[in-house]
Amino acid sequence: MTATSQPTDQPPGQLLTDQKVLERIFRAQYTKLVADAKGRLGDATSSAPRVVSKAFHVAWQERKRFHSQEELDAFLVAQIHHGATREISRRAGLHRMDHHEGLGGGAQTKHETHEMSVDEAWDRLSHTLEGGAPEAYRARASNARHEAAEHVKGLGKEKNWKPMLIICGVGLLVVFGGIWAINKAGEARKVTSALTAKNVRSTEMGAGQHANVTLDDGTVARLAPESKLIVPRAFGPNLRAVAIEGAANFNVSRVLPKPFEVRAGNVAIIARGTVFTVRRYRDEENVVVNVREGSVDVRFAETLRNVPTGMSLLVTKDGVMRVPGAEELQEATTWVDGHVTITGHNLRYVLPQLKRWYGLDIKVPDTKLLDRNVFVSAPVDSKNGAIASVEKSGGLKFTYVGENMAFQDTTPAPKPATKTGTKRR
């Protein structure tokens, strides 16, 4: 089926400009992504095409955020992981219902084993995007309705407990689902209350300071300069949650029944045995999460995203989630490996960063220099390296003005214009 092009109001550089582009990428990556989904689905591999199609459906709904293939690829992988998890949970629920039906003499639920080709999958997805369903799926739905009607007729001829068992099972699922949601909301409020209580314990770093903090469950938090780690008094097996203001790298070595949770502003990062970095200073609006080992779930309000090994996620103050740019990611994470990297900014931005990471309080008497672009690329323990990096990138000279450290311009001032004229005799 030919996809229809759709106009877009997005700025230049958006990747998914219309459904033709979506179809091209879908067909190019379908086989690879289905194989990825199968690897995550265990015994439910027949659901892989549906999981992949759903990932592309969500990507189309959020197409405004993608400006490169790398951003889209990272999003699709995270969505497939999340979709596979949901599918396994759904299958488990159906299996429990099958078991109850089997006790009453009913037949086991049959799952579709036919694997859709890329043409079938795209046909289904494109109709979904257009708000309809292809003829093949309408026919299947019609047959299903017909079979259901015949089944209802048969109920009057013989006594059958299966419908009652199904209704009871669905009712129990609804009840337990409601209880689960209430419990989850209660747990979130419990964590928030514990982290904002007056009796919390906190560890705070000054400018140029780093430290490792080992929590009671064995988790090691490496704190960056000007960072504050908040630990509730009741931290333990039943409350494994902390808050971070600033930047920290967490090594969660123990997998316990209760997951480990980090709060950064309004964002929650949930981990089970993993290594990840979080950055969100008080003067910053965005939260950046980078996963080095394992995976984490990142939650903002009702939105939940999984971030696997080697991937990163940025969450804005409004809850928009996207892949961080290279410069954003470097600034948030390279310090963990002993190197400070700050690019794409002017001297006005870099000066407080020099104070944060190196304890350098450097003045700039000539305020016009504050708008000059500079960068920092230096070992985290080398003040001289940081100063040299700024000097070289900005055409500046480090000096002292009285007792104060300062940057001055090395560009020679233009020579005053000389007047020329005819000499009078």
How many Å separate Cα 201 from the centre of its chain? 28
- Packing angle between helix 69-103 and helix 162-195, nearest 10 degrees? 130
Q: Which residue has the higher pLDDT, 125 or 70?
A: 125
- Give me the residue label for tokens 């490169």: 68
What would the mean pLDDT of 282-294 be, rounded to a whole number? 96
Q: How many residues does the chain have?
A: 425
In tens, the pLDDT along 328-358 reads: 999 999 999 999 999 999 999 999 999 999 9
Least confident of 142-146, 341-345, 404-408: 142-146
Residues 42 and 55 sit within 8 Å (Cβ to Cβ): no
pTM of the model: 0.58
Check residue 62 and give its pLDDT. 83
**Reduced to 3 states, what is the DSSP secondary structure of residue 339?**
strand
Angstrom CA distances, 25 to 1, 38, 94, 191, stand at 15, 19, 33, 42
Q: What do you get for the CA distance between the two ends of the chain, in Å?
A: 93
* Whether the predicted pLDDT of 137 surpasses 80: no
Lowest mean pLDDT segment, chosen from 24-38, 148-162, 360-374 = 148-162
Query: CA 134, 138, 142 angle in degrees (round to 5)?
Result: 175
Segment 65-80 shows an average pLDDT of 83
Instruction: State the pLDDT at residue 417.
Output: 65
Does the pLDDT value for residue 257 go beyond 80? yes
